[in-house]
Amino acid sequence: MDYLNTLYVVASLLIFISIMTSTLSARLGVPLLLFFLGVGMLAGEEGVLGIPFADYQLANFIGQAALACILLDGGLRTSLNSFRVGLKPAITLASWGVLATVTALGIFATWLLDVDWRLGLLMAAIVGSTDAAAVFSLLRNGGVKLNDRVQATLEIESGANDPLAILLVTAMIALNLDPDSQSISSLLVMLVQQIGTGLIVGLLSGWALSRLLPKVYLADGMYAILIMSAGMIVFGATNLLGGSGFLAVYLAGVVIGNTKVRATEHVLRVMDSFAWLSQAALFVILGLLVMPSNILEVWHYSLLIFLFLLFVARPWAVASSLLPFHFSLREIGFISWVGLRGAVPITLAIIPVMMKVPGADLAFNITFGVVILSLLAQGTTIPFMSRLFRVWVPTDNEPKAEHEIWVGDQANITLYEFEVKPGAFAINRHPQSISSKVSPNAISVFALVRHQKLLTINDDTTLKTGDLVWYAMSGDHAASIAKIFNNSTAQYQKNSQFYGDWLLSPHAKIADLPFYNLATKTLNTNGNRLSRLQTSAAWEIFTLAPSATSLTGIDDELIDTLTKSQNMTVEEFMLNEFATEPVKGDEIRLNEHWSLIVRDIDGQGRLRGVGLKNYHKD
């Protein structure tokens, strides 16, 4: 009995400490998953607590269950809109990308370690796929908003590349143990079975559960438990049928999450806790399992393999996968960098150890080192690299929080929270009369919080810096209201720096724009084009920033480009130039000085706002 109580205390203490480190993680910019690993290693046999743990079977069991939970949660939060821009490139990355990575890395590992090629390819297959737990955690909690194409591609890839990775690991284990047992045809049959079964079971089970949820009436907290148990059934049953349980549970989550009913809101709230608990438990257990001294013995191999993976194998795989989809070099560079490795490689590395594959311990220790280096080097630099590769987009037009209240099976009210920032337009305004552009019938004040206390609203109430206001809204007004509550000067500077000083209507004709009017009517004096604006009714369709007193960089190249497209709308011109589905932040360079940038876009891919940017203003 004392043993059980000690186990309860130690296990809970490790999880508690891991969660408490989240504040330190955010302050230092170090991924929280790395702290979970660190806590496990410090508590392990060579750590402070000296807990002996070498149960690979238990670690594998916990790892598989935790990853299924994380993938289910990731699927629940994946919008179908992301499939519109990211599905095809992500599937290519999850198939050819994995094969290309494993092939290149396998050749390098075989040469570097001077081992049999089968073991080299096994090691490459273990670390060949990106990790869903790391990708979902770091991209969604990394403090930076990526453009939708990059975000969707990375997330879908991480959720879909497990079947091929598991197949390759399984095949390479068989080749190491019994080289005569595998053939190309058997591998192809296994791959089709893994993906096909996972796809069918995942979609069908997701559809069935999405139809079941509206008909079941439970306590709020029970919906998540219902979905969680159903997800584990899908995961286990698909594996029993010879399919990919990871793919099936992810797809089931996608279908359920995109079915807007009363139950899904409760599921999302509680599933977030389940997913974090799964990540904490998984990485703590993996930390307990490893011997730091063993990692240090092969750290130089881990470093060289990681560097080759980061700068050669992954970029080659990403470039060859995404260039046919017309991704920009900046996007390819960022996606190459954010090929995060985490729990999946370590969990896969456990399997050959359990099956006593020769050299499996070496593969396990090197894999662990690669994961630590990946979380350190890649996980900590996501915000910096997103700006370096220019794949981030401003986020000032979003509410601080939003919350759905369901008043019926198919009816809900969405509450949005906004904070009054210093210098905001909302200061000294009545909360109900916050915008003349939004009908009073479309927005209603739900609550006003000042100094953490609920404030009664009367006719004389005005907003102050730091106030928190909750609105119930109908219609798509959250972005415009958010601009009123944010620091108008800081917001303008950030947006103008990214999108440019001018906001164009996508429905305006190129020939009607004052920009075009200026380009075609400037006078040429001694080879220099004058930049004097002329009056035009077209000023009504876009806004000129007060600081932009002149337009520079108008040359023959720009005039030729605009003249050829003068009868097109801005949207038609941009869609004609794009080689792929546009997303917010996409840019078309008109010449060395001028660019058109997608500022806003709807769910069907139609442009709603376009920025005009001058890179060389006087």
- Which tops the pLDDT comparison, 548 or 295? 295
- Rounded Cα distance, 136 and 155, in Å: 7
Q: Region 326-354: what's the mean pLDDT?
A: 88
- Rounded Cα distance, 346 and 502, in Å: 50
Both tokens assigned to 326: 């017309």
User: Max CA-CA distance within the chain?
Assistant: 95
Characterize 360-390 residue by residue with b for buried, 16 or more Cβ atoms within 10 angstroms of its Cβ, and e for exposed.
bbbbbbbbbbbbbbbbeebbbebeebbeebb
pLDDT at residue 490 tops 70 = no
Q: Region 545-574: what's the mean pLDDT?
A: 68
Q: pLDDT value at position 482?
A: 83
pLDDT in tens, 374-391: 888 888 888 889 889 988
Q: Region 47-54: what's the mean pLDDT?
A: 78
pLDDT at residue 291 tops 80 = yes
- Rounded Cα distance, 598 and 608, in Å: 8
What element of type H or E holds 373? Answer: helix 360-377
Q: In the β-sheet with 401-406, what is the strand arrangement from edge to edge?
A: 401-406, 412-419, 468-473, 443-450, 453-454
Q: pLDDT value at position 240?
A: 92
Q: Region 266-295: what's the mean pLDDT?
A: 80
Positive or negative, the Cα torsion across 438, 440, 443, 446?
positive
Task: Say which range, 116-125, 207-216, 435-444, has the weakest mean pLDDT.
Answer: 435-444
| SS percent in the chain: helix, strand, coil, step 5 | 60, 10, 30
- Rounded Cα distance, 540 and 536, in Å: 9
Q: pLDDT value at position 142?
A: 64
- List the Cα angle 515/520/523 in 5-degree steps: 110
Q: pLDDT value at position 97?
A: 92
- DSSP annotation of 547: T
Residue 613 and residue 504 in contact, taking contact as beta carbons nearer than 8 Å:
no
Q: pLDDT value at position 526?
A: 39
Residue 394 and residue 496 in contact, taking contact as beta carbons nearer than 8 Å:
no
What element of type H or E holds 151? Answer: helix 148-160
Q: pLDDT value at position 29?
A: 53
Question: Which residues in 500-590 belong to E strands, given as ranges?
Answer: 502-504, 524-525, 528-529, 542-543, 587-589
Q: Region 237-254: what's the mean pLDDT?
A: 89
Residue 32 and residue 284 in contact, taking contact as beta carbons nearer than 8 Å:
no
Instruction: Provide the pLDDT confidence category of residue 494 given band limits of 50, 70 and 90.
Output: low
Positive or negative, the Cα torsion across 570, 572, 573, 578?
positive
- Which tops the pLDDT comparison, 537 or 346? 346
pLDDT in tens, 76-117: 877 777 777 888 898 899 889 999 999 999 999 999 999 989
CA atoms within 13 A on the CB side of 404: 17
Instruction: Provide the pLDDT confidence category of residue 237 given band limits of 50, 70 and 90.
Output: very high
User: 3-state DSSP call for residue 526?
Assistant: coil
Instruction: Provide the pLDDT confidence category of residue 435 given band limits of 50, 70 and 90.
Output: confident
pLDDT in tens, 513-537: 666 655 555 434 434 443 333 333 3
Q: Region 153-162: what's the mean pLDDT?
A: 83
Q: Region 320-334: what's the mean pLDDT?
A: 92
Percent of the chain with pLDDT over 90: 17
- DSSP annotation of 319: H
- Beta pairing, strands 594-601 & 607-614: antiparallel
Q: pLDDT value at position 401?
A: 79
pLDDT at residue 489 tops 70 = no
Q: What is the dihedral of CA 348, 349, 354, 359, to 10 degrees?
A: 140
pLDDT at residue 356 tops 90 = no
Nearest to 245 by CA among 176, 316, 347, 135: 347
Residue 480 and residue 435 in contact, taking contact as beta carbons nearer than 8 Å:
yes
DSSP line for 395-434: -TTS-SEEEEEESSSS-EEEEEEEE--TTBTTTTS-GGGS
Nearest to 573 by CA among 502, 503, 511: 511
Nearest to 365 by CA among 310, 284, 302, 303: 302
- Beta pairing, strands 528-529 & 542-543: unpaired
Q: pLDDT value at position 520?
A: 57
What element of type H or E holds 168? Answer: helix 162-177
Instruction: Provide the pLDDT confidence category of residue 12 given band limits of 50, 70 and 90.
Output: confident
pLDDT in tens, 395-414: 766 788 777 776 666 667 78
Instruction: Provide the pLDDT confidence category of residue 538 given band limits of 50, 70 and 90.
Output: very low
pLDDT at residue 229 tops 60 = yes
Instruction: Please name the residue that has the structure tokens 């409760």.
Output: 266
Nearest to 495 by CA among 321, 413, 354, 613: 613
pLDDT at residue 119 tops 50 = yes
Q: pLDDT value at position 305?
A: 95
Q: pLDDT value at position 159?
A: 76
Q: pLDDT value at position 554?
A: 65
Positive or negative, the Cα torsion across 581, 586, 590, 592?
negative
Q: Mention every residue, 6+ apart, whose C-beta is less than 8 A from residue 161.
A: 93, 94, 95, 97, 98, 129, 130
Q: pLDDT value at position 521?
A: 54
- Which tops the pLDDT comparison, 365 or 194? 365
- Beta pairing, strands 443-450 & 412-419: unpaired
- Which tops the pLDDT comparison, 508 or 260? 508
pLDDT at residue 221 tops 60 = yes
Average pLDDT, the chain: 80
Both tokens assigned to 234: 């899908």
Q: pLDDT value at position 546?
A: 40
DSSP line for 429-493: S-GGGS-TTS-GGGEEEEEEEETTEE----TT----TT-EEEEEE-SS-HHHHHHHHSBHHHHHH
Q: pLDDT value at position 311?
A: 94
Task: Say which range, 159-163, 216-220, 475-479, 491-495, has the weakest mean pLDDT.
Answer: 491-495
Q: pLDDT value at position 303?
A: 95
What element of type H or E holds 595? Answer: strand 594-601
Beta bridge pairs of residue 444: 472
Q: Region 197-207: what's the mean pLDDT?
A: 92
pLDDT at residue 540 tops 50 = no
